[in-house]
Amino acid sequence: MSEFSVAGFDHVNVTTPEELETEVLEWYQSCLGLQRLDKPDGARAAGGWFEVGRQQLHVSLDTHNPPSAAHFGLVVDDTAGVIERLRSNGCHIEQARPIAGRRRFYTRDPAGNRIEIVSYE
């Protein structure tokens, strides 16, 4: 059997129902400041892709609600600044159980996808 290694993540995908698509795409731009990307030929027209460092966040349409504990995490350099922006946009901040060496919390996009925001001390 040949050996291989996993180099890292290419993207994370979250879902939204069709009726919240515009609101969710705008939320990732306005609340988290993510840059929307043009999708390549062959990708589905619905949803959107965003740049997150060297990885991407994909938003796809799906009628199912997201699971309550499923989430992805974003590393930021200023948790207080993120909290301020989220609160100014009416977003709820969910406290996270303390983990040594990290400042972290959760929020949710308009479709209910859970997002962990973390900075390392």
Where exactly are the structural domains of the chain? 11-120
- 11-120 — its CATH code? 3.10.180.10
pTM equals: 0.86
Question: Closest by alpha carbon to 74, among 103, 97, 112, 98?
Answer: 103
The model's pLDDT over 64-115, given as tens digits with 9 standing for 90+, comes to 876 677 899 999 999 999 999 999 999 999 999 999 999 999 999 999 999 9
The model's pLDDT over 58-67, given as tens digits with 9 standing for 90+, comes to 999 988 876 6
Give the burial class of 59: count Cβ atoms within 10 A of its Cβ; 0-12 exposed, 13-18 middle, 19 or more buried: buried
CA–CA distance, 19 with 83 (Å, rounded to integer):
27
* Number of neighbouring beta carbons within 10 Å of residue 103: 17
Rg (CA), the chain: 15
